[in-house]
Amino acid sequence: MEHFATNFATALGMLADVQLLTVILLASVFGLFVGAIPGLTATMATALLVPVTFFMSPLAAVSAIVACTAMAITAGDIPGCLIRMPGTPASAAYTDETYAMTRRGLAAQALGSSLVSSIIGGLAGAAVLIVLAPVLASFALRFSSFEYFWLALIGLSCAALVSSSDLLRGMIALLLGLFIATVGMDGVTGTPRFTLGFTTLMGGLDFIPIMIGMFAVCEILKGLESRSGSTVSTVPQAVGSIFSGVVRLIAQYRRSVVRGSVLGTLIGVLPGAGGDLAAWVSYAMAKRFSATPEAFGTGHPEGVIEAGAANNAALSGAWVPALVFGIPGDAVTAIAVGVLIMKGLNPGPQLFEAQAPTLYAIYLVFILANLLLLPLGWLAIRLATPLLRIPRHQLSAIILLFCILGAYAINNSSFDIGVMLLFGVIAWLLERIGIPIGPIILGLVLGPMVERNFLTSMVIADGNFLGFFERPIAAGLGITAVAIWAVVLWRTVRPRQQAIAASVG
């Protein structure tokens, strides 16, 4: 307890830094801005933020990412509600509902209830992170390379399973990510792999230009492909007082808030899932358990409140496996894990011993970011009408500018602009044929971890694969991994067999 008090006091001291608070505030404003622009995702906001975090302290870098994503996800509700164009994919789950509320003259209620439920969900997710992460970390101290190998494999499997409706395409994306991770000198023997004679590739492909390319450049190319309006055609209506009657509404749907927060956190913890999936599942769950399911789709706040709580709760939940095991919960935490490694804070249970005050400060940032949502979210909603009138293409020109500078600034190398372009084109082409981008990023981040732990384990087990099942926790995790794939294969093969049987019969 004394240990906790000391760490907590140190963390508070770390947080009471004007520079850090300014970073949090600026990242929040940036997140709100990007989130409120239709089509620009929270992941893209994070990817664009990363080059700037390169110049920050580890705590400031992580704080900026936490604040930016929380704000972006919440701000995504604003254009969805006002002009039926979701700002982020997480908001798309209930865009029709909030827009229906707007058409009924309830825009303020829709935005207010969504904002407050997001704050509650975010705080609930942060509470779970604070309680669960240290417990898991003390347990994970007993892990060896065998357990880490299986954990990373489970993480990769989940990422492939939930990222796309087509398992095969999810797998292909994952394998592409794992391959990209092998480019450069091998960590064990120093053998150069797939460097194509470029000395700049000896150190491997830098993940930041890849990230900027895959999320930002790809998004711009997609926008040009669909000629998504140079200006927003629908003029949003003005919004009244957003907090009027919201407390009563939240109290009325308190079960939805709790369910959304719990479900969102659980989905967030699952590798590869993230806030987008949490919002969709929670909205469906709200309708399933509602006393008035027929009201859904007509401008009913219940689903908005539950899904709004879920997507922010998932953001915090995704940090549990990221901090404890170094296994990202979604694309945003995959970027964050990369930033942590870049800053010398290798995620894992040791981090909880060696950098406890920094971790406590990160927890406090989660709380602070969610509390900041109240005034900043309110401000963003007030400023939404002029913001949504800014021509889209002028914004995308500014984004292109930051893509170029962001990719260049990492190594002061224009080679990285080429890498960004290459991966932007690859992501654009892959998305056109239905291959999701999320698993590529997770494969890229988890690839070295899987390979390192696999090779170490094989050396320890003297090449005997049964050695992977000899330790009790490793055996449990190994059986879980095998079971996941067995269930998937069974569910894939079974309908086909039934169809064949039906056609024969």
Partner 1 sequence: MSSRYPLRVDVLLGVALAAAGLYIAFESARFPKIPAQAYGPGFFPQLVGYLLSASGVLTAARALARHIRRGKADPSVGDDRTRGHEASAARAGTSGRHTPNWAAIVWVLAGLAGIAWAMNTVGFLILVPVFLLGYLYLVGEPSVRSLLVVAASTTAAWYGFAVLLKVQIPPGLLELLR
Q: Report the interface residues with partner 1, using CB under 8 A.
A: 52, 55, 165-169, 171-172, 175-176, 178-179, 182, 186, 188-189, 191, 193-194, 217, 220-222, 224-228, 230, 391, 393-394, 396-398, 400-402, 404-405, 408-409, 412, 414-415, 417-418, 420-421, 424-425, 431-434, 450-451, 454-455, 458-459, 463, 492
CB of 463 to partner 1, least distance (A): 5
113 vs 396 by CB, closer to partner 1: 396
Alpha helices in 40-88 (DSSP H): 42-53, 58-75, 77-83
Contacts of 103 by beta carbon, 8 Å cutoff, 6+ apart: 299
Alpha carbons 87 and 41: distance in angstroms, whole number: 7
Minimum CB separation of residue 89 from partner 1 in Å reads 11
Residue placing its CB nearer to partner 1 in the complex, 16 or 502: 502
For the chain, the residue count is 505
For residues 80 and 75, what is the distance between their CA atoms, to the nearest angstrom?
9
Minimum Å distance from CB 490 to partner 1?
Answer: 12
Choice between 376 and 449, CB closer to partner 1? 449
Q: Which run of H or E residues covers position 171?
A: helix 167-182
> Minimum Å distance from CB 234 to partner 1?
16
Beta carbon nearer to partner 1, 52 or 60? 52
Q: Which one, 434 or 472, has the nearer CB to partner 1?
A: 434
Direct distance between the N- and C-terminal alpha carbons of the chain, in angstroms, rounded to an integer: 69
- Residue 433 C-beta: closest distance to partner 1, Å: 5
HSE-CB for 39 with a 13 A CA cutoff: 22
Are the CB atoms for 352 and 138 separated by under 8 Å? yes
Q: Which of 422, 139, 416, 116 has the alpha carbon at shortest distance from 245?
A: 116
User: Could you tell me the smallest distance in angstroms from the CB atom of residue 225 to partner 1?
Assistant: 4
Minimum CB–partner distance for residue 108 and partner 1 (Å)? 29
Angle subtended by helix axes 218-226 and 415-432, to nearest 10:
50
The token duo for 107 is 């825009």
Q: How far apart are CA 161 and CA 432, in angstroms?
A: 20
Nearer to partner 1, 68 or 381 (CB): 68
Least CB distance to partner 1 at residue 491 (A) = 8
**Pick 92 or 383: Cβ nearer partner 1:** 92
Cα–Cα distance, 291 to 286 (Å, whole number): 10
Q: 164: Cβ–Cβ under 8 A, 6 or more apart, which residues? A: 170, 173, 434, 435, 436, 439
Q: Report, in Å, the least distance between residue 296 CB and partner 1.
A: 23
- As measured in angstroms, the least distance from the Cβ of 350 to partner 1 is 24
In sequence order, which residues have a C-beta less than 8 Å from that of residue 121 and are 6 or more positions away?
A: 257, 260, 261, 264, 308, 309, 310, 311, 312, 313
Nearest CB to partner 1, comparing residues 52 and 336: 52
Q: Rounded to an integer, what distance in angstroms lies between the CA atom of residue 178 and that of residue 423?
A: 15
Three-class secondary structure of residue 300 per DSSP? coil
In the bound state with partner 1, the residue whose beta carbon lies nearer, of 189 and 497, is 189
